[in-house]
Structure 1
């Protein structure tokens, strides 16, 4: 087990740490089974760090009372890593040597894509600075939110196979994918039917794809509401609505198409005042499309809420029910891949000219399209039980501004075409070259060596 020295300042910062949703401190005297409840709560929620060997802030005496040797913590480590069901993967375990006050056990617990239980079979989640025991339907809901259980496979008791088999949406889909199967056989093979007692019923994924009016059939809300708000304020008031929100119903493909059309309609011709300047709302259509498609196909349909798309005077907010599933986090959105509704995603992707890219590629496309348009990349946040994507009408700095900003912060530094491309994300070498030459002509920068070869030019601040 790794033992690391902790500096005095770092120890003081640790003692000043406020216990919250992501951090907790525990006495080394805590019973392993009791600590396991906190361990499970972190894994079932958003992950976090636990430091064992620190007394609570209410302690009147010395707060640091660590383990004398790593083996003293064996029972704790064994209980957490070996008796949690199922085991939590990728837990980081280390000891922090406080030089005279013992070893603090530091556990870094990742957000897990699974639902975990203590050795006694109890399930906990993290709520603010504490834990909460959950049971029954709440555990099922936790599984849906993580993607450990697929809500899209839940049978819909208000639906019948005959209604789906006769739907125009299913007929059109089967023509486009070129299948000769009978509709009922097609649904069965595509895992769109789920057993309920002795019956096979259309499941959530099936209803969302092929029911003529899923919003009337489903137990939970699954429409999209689009708002046009005449304000740039963070919080809006009802009177700032240009009109009542447009509610968009229908199957998934229809909802996606109509939402894109409605948002485009609200943006077309819209403008806002930025000081003395009138700014038109201009967003790349492909970026908007990808973000709206992602909201519809990756939302948590077990939650009783609609998707809310708000077009403000200076931004667009897309609020989708459900936090990020599994091990996904805002930090790894562009690197990792995880689908909460894999069957829906697969069915749409099987179509000619599908509305959706491969999992994860949609956000990459949105970011790249916004950058090409000179706008900042999307902003992501999780709040309450929703995931929000904000597309700001905010210009990214020009290449020239980035160069001058870098040399302003690093007066003695040299800058090259390659470095500028790394700093700006601009991959056009000629565009960067033109920016450098423009700044040179204006006297802002000068070459280190006038006689350097074309690809070896380095510049410094004039």
Structure 2
């Protein structure tokens, strides 16, 4: 979170998912407010801020102090991610508190609840979030259903992340990840525990819906390869990566001193799509997740639609909602998901950065399909974006969305661009006005257009101040023979370059 984002969030005030607290609050009261958020919808607690949203500062608090106090005062049930935000008015700690699958008490019998205006005791009969299936213990599940090799895999992942959890003994580690529960004095795995470390036999017996089917299609009709996978999630993701990468093409572009790798399907993007399907699917459904790999697209389908309130039209802006909080929390600690729900942002940013389309969501009555497209590579556009970002100091996601949309449609009005940005029109107008000032857009007759510079031509003209051979143009600009010839012929037609000499002595120079 940047300081500007913090100021914008503080300006909106407190609500049912946002709390402001001063740094001198007692650990007990801090735990009550944090648990109150978790017992409702989860959210963000800003420490070092007045109730009116004024930054007071939290210079004397260390994130580890906060997480340790909350862990102790909630009997290990609450361990938020703490983000430090510093700026001209001081230092603020942002505590990202996940929604709890069960009531968290602070003290004997005290179950706090934050409703957006005040903190109160949870009333008898007041509804908590929908039961989390991944937090449940299946009647036939036992500790022997966990695979020691998969538990070791989890430990290795945590060690690579530098997590303190990696030093815990096996049982304590699994309890800390929410993968074990005590049921009538017996230690047994939760559904999340089986999904992350269960044996193949246990998954087949207890959770056959954990299977993922991968298909590769050489053509639109039929498939040329299929593999059905029933493995714990970390092993499953590794195998899916192997299957996709074996058929994933890469091209290299040179931009200045840098070499860009442009894959048909970016590894971070498709991993995010796969993890989202696992985290947000309806685990009560007996249907499997399906991955269909075509040359021009990758489709990931999972049972269950979006959580209530989220649609394809607002998925980029809607606060995150998790259907399976216990599984999501464990995957966060293992580094597979983002706590603040920035996974969709990441997919958008990486796709648009390389000239691809945003992800497409297709909703069905009981399922959701995410489509990642692989259009023909536009080398000039990718170079232009990379060079413009270097020149302007980086683009925001809004800038990439607007530029990518106008590249596809040519021109658009405010209403159309606001829909693409998933913003109210006034907020979209501010984004577009800033882009006009940056020289990225121009507005004519109420319609917006890209103010694209021909950066490749500019680089070629600078190079051709002195006569150059075609091979030199190819090498310096990182072009193929065909692209170099097309560029030089266009510049000759436009009267900006002339050809000198014939045959092997041919040179090109700027007019």
Query: TM-score, normalised on structure 1?
Result: 0.49
Query: Comparing both chains, which one has the higher relative contact order based on Cα–Cα distances under 8 Å and sequence gaps of 6 or more?
Result: 1
